[in-house]
Amino acid sequence: MKSRTPRSPFPAVTLRAPRLTLRPVADADAPALFAIFSDRDVMRYWSRPPMADPEEAVALVRDIQAGCARGEALQLAVERNGEGRAIGTCTLFHFHRASRRAELGYALARPHWGQGLMHEALTRLVGYAFGELGLNRLEADIDPRNAASARSLARLGFRKEGTLRERWIVGDEVSDSDLYGLLRTEWPPR
């Protein structure tokens, strides 16, 4: 079967959900992304320390745009419909074209947690990944202590497939990873 996994570059994709829009990251998103990725609560279980300098967010925007242009990663800004300000990001990255798989990542600004928003955003992005992008498998790598993230994955139908010991060292902290997987045949969850 012919793979529909995108070659470079990604199309400028915009995905709509009931309360949210997922759209390409723009230069003007840097301050909003700095607010998200400098927050210690958001970054508690992240693979890098919180940002300390707004210039890091400017560099992140450049990296996101370059990754999209090269077809390596699709990182979309999440905004509430009609509000225009990024409140989070959702990402497909680590594409393996021949195996039609990619990894899923996500972060939401602290004031917006607990309203089912990331579930809504990820439902849309996972549907796009298995639909338009033709992927066969999605993976997620999370800190075993990240209960909200584990719950978000479980709600989407992801299964925990194993634990990788001492996989990350961020600052002084060494942490394990739980690896989750979701197959196209398991989507949508029953």
Ligand X SMILES: CC(C)(COP(=O)(O)OP(=O)(O)OC[C@H]1O[C@@H](n2cnc3c(N)ncnc32)[C@H](O)[C@@H]1OP(=O)(O)O)[C@@H](O)C(=O)NCCC(=O)NCCS
Task: Give one word for 116, left, alpha or beta, with left for phi > 0 and alpha for psi -120 to 50.
Answer: left
* Interacting residues with ligand X between 20 and 49 (CB under 6 A): 42, 45
Alpha carbon distance 145, 138 (integer Å): 21
- Is 84 a binder of ligand X (CB under 6 A)? no
Our CB check for ligand X shows the closer of 113 and 187 to be: 113
Say whether residue 119 binds ligand X (CB under 6 A). yes
Cβ-based neighbours of 97, under 8 Å, separated by 6 or more = 3, 5
Query: What binding mask, one character per residue, do residues 142-181 give for ligand X by CB under 6 A, x or -?
Result: x---xxxx-xx--x--------------------------
Which one of the spans 112-120, 131-139, 169-177, 181-189 is the region binding ligand X (CB under 6 A)?
Answer: 112-120
User: How large is the C-alpha radius of gyration of the chain?
Assistant: 16
Phi, psi of 65 (to 5 degrees): -65, -40
Q: Return residues touching ligand X (CB under 6 A).
A: 42, 45, 106-108, 113-119, 142, 146-149, 151-152, 155
